[in-house]
Structure 1
Amino acid sequence: MTFRKSIAAIIAAASIIPSAATASAGELNLLTWEGYAPDSYIKPFESASGCSVSATYVGSNDDFAAKLAAGGGVYDIITPSLDTVPMMQMAGFTEPVDTARVEGYDSIYSEFSKAEALVADGQTWAVPMVWGSVSIIYRPDKVAKPDSIGVLFDPQFSGRISMWDDKSAIYWTARLLGYDNIFDLSDQQLEAVRFKLIEQKSLVRKYWTSAGELTELMANGEVYVSNAWTGLTLKEVNSLGKDFAVAEITPKEKAEGWMDSMMLVAGSPNTDCAYKFMSFMQSPEGQCGIAASTGYFPVNPAAVATCMDETMKAERKVGNIDFVKSLVMWKQPKRLDKYLEVWNAVKSAP
Structure 2
Amino acid sequence: MVTLATTLPAIGQAAELNVLTWEGYADKSFVEPFEKASGCKVNATYVGSNDDFAPKLAAGGGVYDIITPSIDTIGLMRQAGYIAPIDTAKLKDFGGIYKDFANGPDVSVDGKIWAVPLVWGSISLMYRPDKVSGTPDSIGILFDPAYKGRISMWDDKSAIYWTARYLGYDNIYDLSDEQLEKVKEKLIEQKPLIRKYWATAGELTELFANQEVWVSNTWTGLQSKDINALKKGFVVKEFSPKEKAEGWMDSMQLVKDSPNEDCAYKFMNYMLSPAGQCGIIKVTGYFPTVPGAVSQCLTPEEQKDRKVNDVDFVKTLKMWQMPARLDKYLEVWNAVKAAP
Report deviation, 1:242.
1.2
User: Could you tell me which of 42, 61, 67 is aligned with 1:78?
Assistant: 67
Distance 2:240 2:78 in 1: 32
Matches within 5 A, 1:325-336: 325-336=315-326
| DSSP-derived class of the 2:118 partner | strand
Matches within 5 A, 1:245-260: 245-260=235-250
Q: Amino acid of the residue matched to residue 156 of structure 1? A: A
Distance 1:131 1:177 in 2: 26
User: Could you tell me which of 40, 55, 74 is aligned with 2:44?
Assistant: 55
User: Could you tell me which of 105, 127, 133 is aligned with 1:116?
Assistant: 105
Q: Amino acid of the residue matched to residue 316 of structure 1? A: R
Q: Amino acid of the residue matched to residue 186 of structure 1? A: S
Distance 1:129 1:53 in 2: 17
Distance 1:332 1:300 in 2: 24
Q: What residue is the counterpart of 2:283 in the other structure?
A: 293
Deviation per residue, 1:146-200 (Å, 9 max, x gap) = 1100000000100000000000000000000000000000000000000000000
Q: Amino acid of the residue matched to residue 189 of structure 2? A: E
Deviation per residue, 1:255-313 (Å, 9 max, x gap) = 00000000000010111100001010111111010001101110100111222111110
| DSSP-derived class of the 2:152 partner | strand
Matches within 5 A, 1:203-282: 203-282=193-272
Report deviation, 1:121.
2.2
Q: Amino acid of the residue matched to residue 245 of structure 1? A: V
Distance 1:210 1:43 in 2: 23
Q: What residue is the counterpart of 2:8 in the other structure?
A: none
For the pair 1:312 / 2:311, whether they are aligned, the reply is no
Give the percent of matched residue pairs that are identical in Structure 1 and Structure 2.
Answer: 67
Q: What residue is the counterpart of 1:200 in the other structure?
A: 190
Count of residues in correspondence between the two structures: 327
Q: What residue is the counterpart of 1:181 in the other structure?
A: 171
Distance 1:83 1:171 in 2: 12
Q: What residue is the counterpart of 2:140 in the other structure?
A: 150
User: Could you tell me which of 80, 91, 109 is aligned with 1:102?
Assistant: 91
Q: What residue is the counterpart of 2:5 in the other structure?
A: none
Report deviation, 1:72.
2.5
For the pair 1:141 / 2:130, whether they are aligned, the reply is yes
The ranges of structure 1 where at least 4 consecutive aligned residues each deviate by more than 3 angstroms after the TM superposition are none
Q: What residue is the counterpart of 2:55 in the other structure?
A: 66
Report deviation, 1:322.
2.0
Q: Supply the RMSD in Å over aligned alpha carbons.
A: 1.0
Report deviation, 1:116.
1.0
Distance 2:243 2:308 in 1: 24
TM-score, normalised on structure 1? 0.92
Distance 1:136 1:275 in 2: 36
User: Could you tell me which of 323, 326, 349 is aligned with 2:339?
Assistant: 349
